Structure 1
Amino acid sequence: MLDTIKQKLLELEADKDIRILYACESGSRAWGFPSPDSDYDVRFIYARPVDDYLKINEIRDVIDLPVNEVLDIGGWDIRKVLKLFLKSNGALYEWLQSPIVYRDDHGFAEELRQLMPKYFSLRACGNHYLAMALNTLHNDLQGEQLKLKRYFYALRSALACKWIIERQTVPPMEFNLLRVLVDDLKFQQAVDGLLEIKQVSNEKTLVGPNAVLSDWLKTTLDNCKETIGTVASNHQQTDELDAIFRKYILQ
């Protein structure tokens, strides 16, 4: 599959007249809880020829390939990426930390990684993860039969919010790095039990409610709602990002 993904990226560069600056895995395979039939969620950042940025009409800043059962490939234009970086977009900050990287041969991603501590807004991204976790809890984790993967979506988002509040830093992307925040043995045993099921089950697998994890989610998210407003927000100027933009569209 690695060869297929790399070939698709090369074809995209030729077909769309773009230069891919960075490409990585963004879904459950990168988070650390894939199922045997999990697809590959490939995300990339690209730059167009400089003349494309000097037109009166705005150019489209997203490229998506048709999704199939195996591959989900999509990318964002560098200008869109830098605007989202300034806003502490949670998905983008995760891409830059992905443990599975398909292309990273221009130095662009590393330049942004170096700036993450300066530009990251604890409050903005904390609210992002809090909203994701609450939405999943209220809409997907109610009833007698629940999608197993939704438990992990809620847990990962809740842990990321908890990390932001307690550690005051950019949360890691990987689930196993986030779960170290919790020292409750019953919680860890419950998580391990669901991970064992997920490793041998398909994406549609249903499970019954887990009281330990459901209670932990409710308590943790209630605490996050009470405290997220106390963490720092962050507003930076665009000068450094403007310089990066100019550098990579002129290469």
Structure 2
Amino acid sequence: MTDALDIDLAPVVAEQPDPLLFATVSGAHLYGFPSRDSDVDLRGVHLLPAADLVGLREPEETRSRWGYLPVRAESRTWGRDREGVEMDLVTHDLRKFVRLMLRRNGYVLEQLLSPLVVHTGEAHRELISLAPGVLTRHHAHHYRGFAITQWRLFEKTGELKPLLYTFRVLLTGIHLMRSGEVQAHLPSLLPLVEEAPAYLPDLVAAKAAQEHGKAEVDQGRVAEDVERLQKTLDEEQALSALPETPAAYDALHDFVIRVRLDGPKG
């Protein structure tokens, strides 16, 4: 994974003040349309000591860190005008992350299930095994809302990035409602969702060249396709075999207690 991004992320993980249960790459690299100057978005879970949760001080349940990482000299083949890449790391304490999982939050599930793994362990693998038990048909609301937000941003800016985000989340939501699988990688979704517009590979290729480039598209046609996919998501939510409520609440409750008391294992 680090070879694919041409950077070594292990030191970032090692310097965190509390143990990380996992760290994965999210953002455009996970979604399948990074640009040559895309930041690296690291997401994960840290484990606070039990004492931090029972005292008077507010625990640091969410941590954010920004940095600038060097790129190996032999891998500078993109025509970069710099010798590094921006990185941001956001982690939640285990309890907060699991609570987010139980709130039909597709974003944290995509982080958990990302195949771009920087750091993992037994707790990460067990949490992945529990993830299907939080999926419900109401996750469609997450993807519908995210798509609306990104579409409005596209209408305001005309940039390709929010347009690709709009299509990506709609296709992720449709596929999830049909299959029960969280798939965030847009190129992988194209053959899985037959309603995907045929021009999306061209937009992905255009995005690779420029992070904030304008979208050279027929806006009327694009608007029709977005509306069509929104309707498809509505229909698939109504037909979905996914349950109404999470099934894994008790198992996740026990998991959080056990990992907190016993600590992470490799």
- How would you bin the TM-score normalised by the shorter chain? 0.7 to 0.9
Superposed displacement of residue 227, structure 1: 5.5
Preserved contact between residue 86 and residue 236 of structure 1 (Cα < 8 Å) = no
Q: Which runs of 5+ in 1 are unaligned?
A: none
- 2:76 aligned partner: none
Give the 3 Å change call, closer, same or farther, for CA 213–181 of structure 1 in structure 2. Answer: farther
Higher mean C-alpha displacement, 35-44 vs 54-63: 54-63
CA distance in 2, matches of 1:135, 1:47: 32
- Report the RMSD for the aligned CA atoms in angstroms: 2.3
Superposed displacement of residue 97, structure 1: 1.6
Give the 3 Å change call, closer, same or farther, for CA 39–237 of structure 1 in structure 2. Answer: closer
1:214 aligns with 2:230: no
Output the amino acid matched with 2:154.
L
Output the amino acid matched with 1:7.
P
CA distance in 2, matches of 1:182, 1:205: 26
CA distance in 1, matches of 2:153, 2:119: 34
1:140 aligns with 2:153: yes
Higher mean C-alpha displacement, 210-219 vs 228-237: 228-237
Q: Which runs of 5+ in 2 are unaligned?
A: 69-84
CA distance in 2, matches of 1:245, 1:166: 30
- 1:149 aligned partner: 161
Output the amino acid matched with 1:182.
V
Output the amino acid matched with 1:206.
K
CA distance in 2, matches of 1:84, 1:152: 25
- 2:92 aligned partner: 76
Superposed displacement of residue 131, structure 1: 0.8
Q: How many residues align?
A: 239
Superposed displacement of residue 237, structure 1: 6.1
- 1:53 aligned partner: 53
Give the ranges of 4+ consecutive aligned residues of structure 1 lying more than 4 Å apart after TM superposition.
1-4
Which of 178, 185, 204 is equivalent to 2:212?
204
Superposed displacement of residue 57, structure 1: 4.0
When the two structures are superposed, what TM-score results if normalisation uses the length of structure 1?
Answer: 0.85
Which of 103, 108, 113 is equivalent to 1:87?
103
CA distance in 1, matches of 2:246, 2:205: 42
- 1:129 aligned partner: 143
Write the deviation string for residues 142-174 of structure 1: whole angstroms up to 9, x where unpaired: 37x71111111000111012113333x032121
Secondary structure at the aligned position of 2:37 is classed as coil
CA distance in 2, matches of 1:182, 1:92: 22
Preserved contact between residue 66 and residue 86 of structure 2 (Cα < 8 Å) = no
- 2:75 aligned partner: none
Give the 3 Å change call, closer, same or farther, for CA 154–122 of structure 1 in structure 2. Answer: same
CA distance in 1, matches of 2:135, 2:31: 20
- 1:109 aligned partner: 124
Secondary structure at the aligned position of 1:221 is classed as helix
- 1:65 aligned partner: 65
CA distance in 2, matches of 1:233, 1:2: 42
Superposed displacement of residue 206, structure 1: 0.7
CA distance in 2, matches of 1:183, 1:170: 16
Secondary structure at the aligned position of 2:191 is classed as helix
Higher mean C-alpha displacement, 209-218 vs 71-80: 209-218
Give the 3 Å change call, closer, same or farther, for CA 79–48 of structure 1 in structure 2. Answer: same
1:29 aligns with 2:29: yes
Superposed displacement of residue 241, structure 1: 1.3
- 2:41 aligned partner: 41
Higher mean C-alpha displacement, 63-72 vs 18-27: 63-72
CA distance in 2, matches of 1:184, 1:52: 49
CA distance in 1, matches of 2:182, 2:24: 18
Percent of aligned positions that are identical: 21
